[in-house]
């Protein structure tokens, strides 16, 4: 089962090493075929086997944070087949193949941050709570084209309403939450906030049964991967070349 892993890197917050370490971990752990892509404004330092695309030509930045990633959802996007959009500050802990084989991309899936109290999505709807996370999105072909088409049609209005203070996750939550599908429990957890509310919220814990952990630092919260505890940085650096 061939998988296209897609990453984004722009600006100076994360170096090429972040991209490379995701790729090297995938090379070491993933037991099936894959192609690794990076859409970036600066390809310097990236592993020579990573397929690089210019972000301004492929998925140019927009006024709302990360909405440029909606371009990858288009049925006309250059990458076809099975696709995974993966944040470069995520930590792969073990081989994803068994999960992906069973799932078989039957539907698009996002991360639901169940380390948050679910009742807050009703109490704070459209305000502080966001129950969609895009650190690990899986889909194939045109399964998410409906998101791209909606955004394309309403782009100006969405940018006026949300602006730079919000993100693609909040747009997905506010407009599409009721129709989105999510990865099941036991696949991904938050290093900085725990795994599941209310019974498994210990932070910075290594959960060996999970496939990956996410660090959730895009909006000034959480712990950066390079500042994490020794077990995490050791795993992050393990496959360095």
φ, ψ at 237 (rounded to 5°): -90, -5
Q: Name the percent of the chain lying above pLDDT 90.
A: 87
Q: Residues 229, 185, 68, CA angle at the centre, nearest 5°? A: 75
Q: Are 147 and 200 in contact (CB under 8 A)?
A: no
Confidence of residue 164 (pLDDT cuts 50, 70, 90): confident
Confidence of residue 128 (pLDDT cuts 50, 70, 90): low
Q: Are 111 and 85 in contact (CB under 8 A)?
A: no
pLDDT in tens, 12-50: 999 999 999 999 999 999 999 999 999 999 999 999 999
Does the pTM exceed 0.85?
Answer: yes
**Kind of pairing between the strands at 3-9 and 82-86:** parallel
Number of Cβ within 10 Å of residue 227's Cβ equals 11
Cα–Cα distance for residue pair 109/134, rounded to 1 Å: 9
Sheet of strand 82-86: strand arrangement: 51-54, 34-40, 3-9, 82-86, 133-140, 109-111
Does residue 124 carry a pLDDT above 80? no
Q: What is the pLDDT of residue 220?
A: 67
As a whole number, mean pLDDT of residues 136-151 equals: 98
Cα–Cα distance for residue pair 47/169, rounded to 1 Å: 29
CA-CA-CA-CA torsion sign (25, 212, 31, 182): negative
Which residues, 6+ apart, have CB-to-CB distance to 82 below 8 Å? Answer: 1, 2, 3, 4, 100, 105, 138, 140
Tell me the CA distances in angstroms from 4 to 1, 78, 91, 174, 205, one per residue in order: 10, 11, 18, 28, 29
Q: What is the pLDDT of residue 127?
A: 59
The helix (run of H) or strand (run of E) holding residue 232 is helix 230-237
């Amino acid at each position: 089962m061939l998988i296209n892993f897609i990453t984004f890197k722009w600006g100076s917050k994360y170096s090429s090493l972040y991209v490379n370490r995701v790729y090297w971990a995938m090379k070491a752990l993933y037991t099936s075929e894959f192609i690794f892509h990076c859409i970036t404004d600066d390809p310097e330092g990236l592993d020579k086997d990573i397929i690089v695309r210019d972000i301004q030509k492929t998925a140019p930045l927009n006024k709302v944070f990360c909405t440029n990633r909606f371009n990858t959802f288009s049925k006309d996007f250059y990458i076809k087949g099975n696709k995974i959009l993966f944040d470069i500050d995520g930590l792969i802990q073990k081989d994803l193949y068994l999960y992906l084989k069973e799932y078989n991309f039957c539907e698009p899936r996002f991360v639901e941050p169940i380390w948050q109290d679910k009742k807050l999505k009703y109490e704070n709807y459209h305000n502080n709570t966001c129950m969609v996370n895009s650190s690990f999105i899986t889909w194939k072909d045109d399964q998410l084209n409906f998101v791209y088409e909606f955004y394309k049609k309403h782009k100006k209005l969405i940018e006026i309403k949300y602006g730079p203070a919000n993100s693609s996750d909040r747009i997905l939550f506010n407009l599409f939450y009721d129709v989105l599908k999510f990865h099941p429990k036991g696949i991904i957890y938050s290093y900085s906030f725990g795994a599941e509310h209310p019974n498994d919220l210990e932070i910075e814990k290594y959960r060996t049964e999970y496939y990956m952990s996410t660090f959730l630092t895009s909006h000034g919260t959480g712990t950066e991967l390079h500042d994490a505890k020794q077990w995490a940085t050791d795993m992050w650096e393990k496959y360095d070349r």
